[in-house]
Amino acid sequence: MSTRSIVPFGPQHPVLPEPIHLDLVLEDEKVVEAVPSIGFVHRGLEQLVEKRDFQTYVYVAERICGICSFMHGMSYCEAVEKIMNIEIPARAKYLRTIWCEMSRIHSHLLWLGLLADAFGFESLFMQSWRIRETILDMFEESTGGRVIFSVNKIGGQRRDMENSMLRGFLPKLEQVEAELEAITGAFLSDRAVNTRLRDVGILTKEQAHDLGAVGPFMRASGIEFDMRLQGYDAYKDLYFRPVTSTECDSYARCKVRIGEIFQSINLIRQAIDKIPEGEIAAPVKGLPNGEAFVRVEQPRGEALYYVCGDGKKFLERFRVRTPTFANLPGLLQTLKGCQLADVPILILTIDPCISCTER
């Protein structure tokens, strides 16, 4: 009979860019239970809606998380637009779609790098982040910022992208695609990498469904579902199918995310091809009165936004359900029965974003 011991993991840990604490209950090297405790990054920014008026609050919403900053700002705007019945111009919808997909590429490349770091493949980590810099350059060129963009406003966008700039993106995307293809083999075919990822952290299709997993974590368990299919923004005009995999392990999660980068590149190409001319913002009149739900597909999965206004300048309530929060039960399930040495990889495979989760 082996004795049980508890190993604290985090909040400061070499593999964690963000603080989360787990109490790992071990039987020798095997994890039998993981108990998370969170709250290290809690700022309480939802309450700021009482202190910033609804148009100013966009910049706070954007800072829920620095990785999907564009999508947070955008989804907040969409929720307010829904309450106020504002139809944003078609060009603004396409601009949002292009920036969303660029965010997804940079987020997934960032994740690939962190995963490589977790299994000790330093040069692959460097390569992923080097490719990511091209996308950040595109962001800097089009918005002026590398991680925080401030291009969303209620009713549309603050900035337009000139058509010449959009055409200039095409060769850069081609370059990213070629460079990513070059490192895909290292992630998916390398024998050493395979031994770290294959059959590690199995989450079956039924478990993923029952535990309410979202995003690539869910799709890697074989559930074909993507919030973009509901056709918000320009997605209804673009063709894509969710990337799924049936292996249900860490390898599948890596494969799905790599597939999604290629998919996003393809979506940006389609959007650049179809983007209409015209205005980029609709006028905003009156104050929000009512409530609205908005669901969007972020790089980490489905995020849900709730906004409630009562006809005043300041909103009544703002609430976000982030993808990492939805994926935590799935993570705890995969941690049960794994080896202690696999814990960093398993935590990374849900692509945790703690600052989203705790806000």
User: For residues 102 and 275, which CB has a smaller minimum distance to other proteins in the complex?
Assistant: 102
Query: What residues numbered 209-228 form the site for other proteins, per CB under 8 A?
Result: none
Residue 49 or 98: which CB sits closer to other proteins? 49
What is the C-alpha separation between 129 and 182, in angstroms, rounded?
14
Is position 13 an interface residue for other proteins (rule: CB under 8 A)? yes
The residue (of 48 and 202) whose beta carbon lies closer to other proteins is 48
Mask for 119-158, x = binds other proteins (CB under 8 A): -------x--xx--x--x--------xxxx----------
Under a CB-based contact definition with an 8 Å cutoff, are residues 77 and 280 in contact?
Answer: no
Q: Which is nearer to other proteins, 58 or 326 (CB)?
A: 58
- Asked if 11 is part of the footprint of other proteins (rule: CB under 8 A), the reply reads yes
Pick 205 or 317: Cβ nearer other proteins: 317
The residue among 60 and 92 lying less far from other proteins, judged by its C-beta, is 60
Whole-number Cα distances in Å, 52 to 20, 58, 75, 200, 268:
29, 9, 17, 46, 34
Helix H segments across the chain?
58-62, 69-84, 90-118, 122-143, 163-188, 191-197, 205-210, 215-219, 250-274, 323-335, 343-349, 354-358
Binding part of the chain for other proteins, among 14-22, 204-212, 297-305, 332-340 by CB under 8 A, reads: 14-22
Other beta carbons within 10 angstroms of residue 45's beta carbon come to 18
- Report the site for other proteins in 53-92 (rule: CB under 8 A): 59-60, 63-67, 69
Distance CA 334, CA 284 (A): 47
Q: Is residue 25 close enough to count as binding other proteins by CB under 8 A?
A: no
Q: Give yes or no for a contact between 267 and 101, defined as CB atoms under 8 angstroms apart.
A: yes
- Identified binder of other proteins from the candidate list 17, 36, 89, 212, rule CB under 8 A: 17
The number of helix segments (H) and strand segments (E) in the chain equals 12, 8
Nearest to 223, CA basis, from 247, 244, 250: 244
Tell me how crowded residue 15 is: count the other CB atoms within 10 A of its CB.
14
What's the min distance (Å) between Cβ of 341 and other proteins? Answer: 16
Contacting other proteins (CB under 8 A), which of 75, 298, 327, 355?
Answer: 355
Contacts to other proteins by CB under 8 A: 11-15, 17-19, 39-45, 47-48, 51, 59-60, 63-67, 69, 110, 126, 129-130, 133, 136, 145-148, 353, 355
